[in-house]
A and B are shown apart, each in its own frame.
Chain A
Amino acid sequence: MRDRSLWIGFLVALGLGLSIALTQQQEVDPYKEAERQRELFRQTAGILPGELYAAQGEELFAQKRGPKNASLEACDFGLGPGKLEGALTQLPRYFADTRRVEDLETRIVSCMVNLQGFRPQDIKREDVKALTAFVASKSTEMPINVVPRSSQEIAMYNLGRELWYHRAGDRDMNCAICHDSYAGGKVRLSPVRSPRQGLSNEWPAYRFEADKLYTLEDRIAFCYESVGIHPPEYYSEPMIALSIYMLAEATKGKNKFTELPGFTR
């Protein structure tokens, strides 16, 4: 454990250096730049930051923790207890035990509460992120397969679509303005994709510009912040609704996940 934290500290410092170097250049192709940064990490550290987070998550997953002194190995992500292969590809989905539609992050929290006995307020966000990285790594490059079927899932998808078009804030923004009207174009230097084009298929990912692991909820929060809207709380309905909407649309567009955790700007 301690070794790994040291490693992450080192990589964080390295990443900072790289991203500072990056901001001094102008008009670089963001995809080529991500590829270059990734190679730099491979060569200098021999491992990608996302892989380190996933390894940390794997340890947390197997460890007996919490008031009930249990591991998360019995956690059911929708394919049966402990079945992790491809688990992310079908999330968010409805879970009868919690009677909620849950995304990967929310499901991890539910298992930490129900299996390990943690109180929600005692759960560390960093732990959830590492666990998300680990579970997601078992769906690397797999086709996305989110098809709302139960009434709860369909309702959540409809909520997500509504939020997607909800114009608000002093920038009069909604997600569709950038990600639909303008899909294929650029906001400043960033190319923008639509859900059908596979938006959201690279998360959780290490963002080298921020030098942090971002989950899909973190990425949604980031877009809200950038248009002056205070992001919804983690694990709340708006987060899950937007996630199921985007991933169901990405499924219709026949998209796959990238390498997970992803590596991006």
Chain B
Amino acid sequence: MKTRYFVGLMAMLLVGLTLSQQSPFQQRVQQAINSGGNKFAETMKQDRDQALCSQYRDKLPPEEVGAFLERQRALIKYPADGKLMGDWKQGEALFTNPRKGNCYACHTGDPKEAGAGRMGPGLVGYGQRGTSEPVVKYTYDKIYNAWASMPCSLMYRAGYHGILTPEETAHVTAFLLDPASPVNAKR
């Protein structure tokens, strides 16, 4: 009885190992997700770093951070013309649109916009830091891929996911940095 049980267990383990590298618990999670229906399972698929963030409850251990940032930085794409600051007016629309940037869900921006969320730092007066190359690049990179500077940030990777194209990311960057933008209006 006991040996048969053992052999059975080994066989199951082997099958498990050859099918995937997942632990039995992870396989159980996947099974549960699949039971929620095809469309659910499809949208719940994770990339490697989403899985890593989930595993560590959004707090990566220090030894994972370097490689994580490296992988995320490699995902950033820039506009063909190389200009990281576009048109702030187009940026404003993208920043506000819930289907595009949806940035007001978490940030203040133009102080006139009522009911902005506060999950992210306030961005009113963001342009005070100037428009030097490092500032522009930091801002562009943050918007395109927030995880390239902050692992598992709760800010989503708008550019990486194609919610904003590189050109659109440049417009939103301008909305935050351009001195003429309402974000930076003198008060």
Residues of A at the B interface (CB closer than 8 Å) are 26-27, 155, 158-159, 162-163, 165-174, 176-178, 181-182, 185-189, 224, 228-233, 236-239, 241
State the Cβ distance, A91 to closest chain B Cβ, in Å. Answer: 19
Total interface residues in chain B, CB < 8 Å: 37
Q: Which of B28, B36, B50, B115 contacts A239 (CB 8 A)?
A: B36
- Chain B positions within 8 Å of A176 at CB level: 57-58
Cβ contacts A to B, 17 pairs, < 8 Å? A155-B28, A159-B28, A162-B25, A166-B46, A166-B54, A167-B54, A168-B50, A176-B57, A181-B154, A185-B118, A188-B104, A188-B105, A229-B40, A236-B35, A236-B36, A238-B32, A241-B32
Nearest-CB residue, chain A, relative to B29:
A162
Interface centre among B35, B106, B116 (most CB of A within 10 A): B35
Which residues of chain B (28-74) have a CB below 8 Å from chain A?
Answer: 28-29, 32-33, 35-37, 39-40, 42-46, 50, 53-54, 57-58
Q: Which of A27, A173, A188, A230 contacts B156 (CB 8 A)?
A: A173
Nearest-CB residue, chain A, relative to B33:
A238
Tell me whether B170 is interfacial, beta carbon within 8 Å. no
Q: Are A174 and B54 in contact (CB under 8 A)?
A: yes
Q: Are B36 and A165 in contact (CB under 8 A)?
A: no
Tell me whether B79 is interfacial, beta carbon within 8 Å. no
- Chain B positions within 8 Å of A177 at CB level: 58, 154
State the Cβ distance, B50 to closest chain A Cβ, in Å. Answer: 4
- Chain B positions within 8 Å of A187 at CB level: 105-106, 117, 119
User: 1/0 per position for B5-34, CB-CB distance to A under 8 A?
Assistant: 000000000000000000001001100110
- Chain B positions within 8 Å of A159 at CB level: 28-29, 32
Residues of B at the A interface (CB closer than 8 Å) are 25, 28-29, 32-33, 35-37, 39-40, 42-46, 50, 53-54, 57-58, 104-106, 114-119, 147, 152, 154, 156-157, 161-163
- Chain B positions within 8 Å of A174 at CB level: 54, 58
A49 to B58, CA, bound (A): 41
- Chain B positions within 8 Å of A167 at CB level: 46, 50, 53-54, 58, 152
A171 to B102, CA, bound (A): 10
Question: 15 more A-B contacts (CB under 8 A) besides A27-B115, A171-B161, A172-B161?
Answer: A159-B28, A163-B33, A167-B152, A168-B45, A170-B161, A173-B156, A178-B119, A182-B119, A186-B118, A188-B105, A229-B40, A232-B33, A236-B35, A237-B35, A237-B36
- Chain A positions within 8 Å of B105 at CB level: 187-188
A239 to B45, CA, bound (A): 17
- Chain B positions within 8 Å of A237 at CB level: 32, 35-36
State the Cβ distance, A17 to closest chain B Cβ, in Å. Answer: 23
Q: Are A168 and B40 in contact (CB under 8 A)?
A: no
State the Cβ distance, B45 to closest chain A Cβ, in Å. Answer: 7
